[in-house]
Structure 1
Amino acid sequence: LRVKEPKSAVLVFSSGNLVCTGTKSVSQVRQVIQAVIKQLKKINVNITTKPKITVQNIVASGTIDLKLNLNFLALEMENTEYEPEQFPGLVYKLSEHNATFLLFSNGKLVCTG
């Protein structure tokens, strides 16, 4: 299901689980889940329990005003993967925080975890 405001998508599984993507905060997740529950109730889906919301993954992106030498970083940093023939970014895994960074030579970065 697609929700227009806040812009997001919700996957509804036969197990009763819902997966919400695209929101920017937990309060937006609650708002979206309530909207989906309302839609489901309109088509006579019997929902009697309050949803338990858990954050499974967060994605953040940003830019640093710096050109990055990914070859140098791959040699100097541990827990990195850099294969520019396959993917233009350097993958840096910060295992103690269960986070992965994608670093690009233009200074853009993506963090997941």
Structure 2
Amino acid sequence: MAEDFDLVKIMESGLEGAEYNKAKFPGLVYRIQNPKAAFLIFTSGKVVCTGSKSVENAHKAIITLANTLKDIGFDKIDLDPEVHVQNIVATADLKTNLNLNTIVMALGMENVEYEPEVFPGLVYRIDAPKLVVLIFSSGKLVIAGGKIPEDCEEGLRIISTEFDNLGLLS
């Protein structure tokens, strides 16, 4: 967004909800409600936007942040910053209980990690699109790593098809 952000200046501007404690975290945390998002703002001028429910809302939130920073005296802010989506996280529900031990046996260990004493979900890696899917015995999934929403949709299709072919879905 800009070069060399003075995070203390942002805090002192009275930006409501901003949190900055350099000893705990090197960036400033700022949250907005409309659209709902949280930002990690770094002295380098890099900004990470998290928590948006859609790519469109992330873009709107970033423009809102740019305007807010301009309003508090950061004159060199680009009001139409370049945005790079790095990681989309989606959830899904297969609406059936799953036996994760059976899934591990059926899929083999190539793209699967399952250590129930460490983490209650099965970790399944998909190569194309490059995704990680957390699979829980409740049938709920967390699909992470997508660059576009369609990546996550494809991940769900791959899992559903594979589980259906293995007879794991009712």
- Please tell me the TM-score bracket, short chain as reference: over 0.9
State the shift of 1:45 in Å: 0.9
The equivalences for 1:1-113 within 5 A come to 1-49=30-78, 50-77=80-107, 78-113=110-145
1:103 and 1:110 in contact (8 A); partners too:
yes
TM-score (norm 2): 0.63
Contact 1:37 1:47 in 2 (8 A): no
Alpha-carbon contact 2:66-2:77 (below 8 Å) kept: no
Higher relative contact order (CA 8 A, sep 6+): 1
Structure number with greater Rg is: 2
Note the residue ranges of structure 1 that are not aligned, 5 or more in a row.
Answer: none
Quote the RMSD (CA, aligned, Å). Answer: 1.3
Q: When you count strand as a share of all residues, which structure comes out higher?
A: 1
Unaligned runs of 5+ in 2: 1-29, 146-170
Identity of aligned residues (%): 45
Residue matched to 2:19:
none
Higher helix share: 2
Runs of 4+ in 1 over 3 A off after TM superposition: none
Cα offset, 1:48, TM superposition: 4.7
Q: What is the aligned residue count?
A: 113
Secondary structure of 1:96's counterpart equals coil
